[in-house]
Structure 1
């Protein structure tokens, strides 16, 4: 049902609206993500059966994956076009998006960085110092694997598999997950481990931490926050950013690039929104392929 409805809508956008291929793909992308969400939630709902509740739950789900209200609004806009078309063609009696308001902008959520802004932040790091080499690896992993800052500073050498391009992350509630690293994250982590980390003498009980300061102790959350703030000042970035901004950007760039929602959910270490939902872990090779295909720094 979804495939035929999407095909017909695609023809409409091409023949009657005269849109370019890129514009058409952007519209279709939003609809396919709604379809993916319904499948993840095991809701057997066709395009003519979608209600405003389904749309709201979809937007909430995107928000929990780290999408900002502005990104959610863009998805809603794409869906409005689709259901407006369905209503005009008498395929549905009511437009389910008509009563759904765009998510309100919240100051609590950090801004999302563009790929260009992330490149500028990384380029502002002084790579001539051991600290700079460490900071580059640290931020590449924050953005390249979507880690929480607590997961970053608690990352241990025994949980790093650079030859496989994976990290074993111990997240909330001591739940473990395997997260693929982008090629740039793997590259800069190797440089840090081989050229800097090996020359630092760890203090007692800090021997296994990946990221250490010059005194051989693990980093604090506040310290990571200050590094990012300093880089933002260097490039005169007029956004309120934190370590979590990189996690938001990771999820946003993957989803907007076309990545599978379930894969992004698993990489972030999110539990299902409904606790009764049966969760199937995805094959690690598939997660790695998702990163390769859709992450801007892979």
Structure 2
């Protein structure tokens, strides 16, 4: 059987119906179009797909290969479900992706202090939105794509919780602490009319849906002398919870990780931090 554009269109339409994030849909679209180009006029069999995996391993980093193969596996599973094919050809292929271990980059405490000090000093028109965005990132550890996808119907301010739809449209409840609740409340009150006109809770400077890139611009406004990405808030949130002895299984649920293996990278990072402190800031070094 050969892959057709109709197969891809059907699958991507199904993904949109599952309320997957814009970021996830974009990744699926890129990955599957690349697979389609490689498989042009070829049969979807074990040998050809193995060649494709070989191609990926020689042209992309392990993390990217892993994502592309996950996209492919999900596509085939859907085709099996709708009886377009009899079985998932990926199930018959053995492969192992040795992903390089990189420690998550976190925001230093003094940088967070500086960031919030600048937020308190700024008086521009959208400052309440900016505060709400940054408070939500550092107080909940949600992904930037999840933040941008929050709809008005997903947020329950008076009850102090919101509904997040993570990867693969997995739903989870996020409870709000006092600081982030107040920031969201002030933003909602300041832009109530504009927000009510939109489907999504966060708006950009043109009063449309906030995007990943818009969030990066917001962060850059207050961190021009040190580099911070939206995902670093997630890393920092998880690491700080671990350093306060929060059980890793709770952190896994809050972050929306399907496997605790993913969350365990923060435990490793915390151990490395302890080692750094003992090596470089040991009180014994002060005794001369």
Structure 1 residues 24-103: aligned runs within 5 Å:
none
Cα RMSD, aligned residues only: 2.4
1:225 aligned residue: 216
Give TM-score scaled by structure 1 length: 0.50
Contact 1:110 1:241 in 2 (8 A): no
Q: 1:122 to 1:176 in 2, by over 3 A?
A: same
Show the counterpart of 2:179: 184
- Map Cα deviations across residues 161-212 of structure 1 (whole Å, 9 max, x no partner): 22222110001101100012221111100000012x2142766xxx121111
C-alpha distance 129-154 of structure 1, shift in aligned 2 (>3 A):
same
Higher share in helix: 2
- In structure 1, the partner of 2:166 is 171
- 1:264 and 1:159 map into 2 onto residues whose CA distance is 21
CA distance change for structure 1 residues 169 and 255 in 2, over 3 Å: closer, same or farther? same
> Who is 1:135 aligned against?
130
- Residue 124 of structure 1 deviates from its aligned partner by 1.2
Whether 2:258 is the aligned partner of 1:271: answer yes
Q: Structure 2: where are the runs of 5+ without partners?
A: 1-99, 262-288
Between the aligned partners of 2:125 and 2:237, the Cα distance in structure 1 is 26
Q: Of 203, 225, 228, which residue of structure 2 is paired with 1:212?
A: 203
Segments of 5+ residues of structure 1 without an aligned counterpart are 1-103, 275-298
**Secondary structure of the residue that 2:223 maps to in structure 1?**
helix
Q: Which 4+ runs in 1 deviate beyond 3 A?
A: none
Separation of aligned partners in 1, 2:160 and 2:207: 26
TM-score, scaled relative to structure 2? 0.52
Aligned mates of 2:133, 2:176 — CA distance in 1: 12
| Greater C-alpha Rg | 2
Q: 1:168 to 1:190 in 2, by over 3 A?
A: same
Query: Secondary structure, in 3 states, of the residue corresponding to 1:168?
Result: strand
Aligned residues: 162
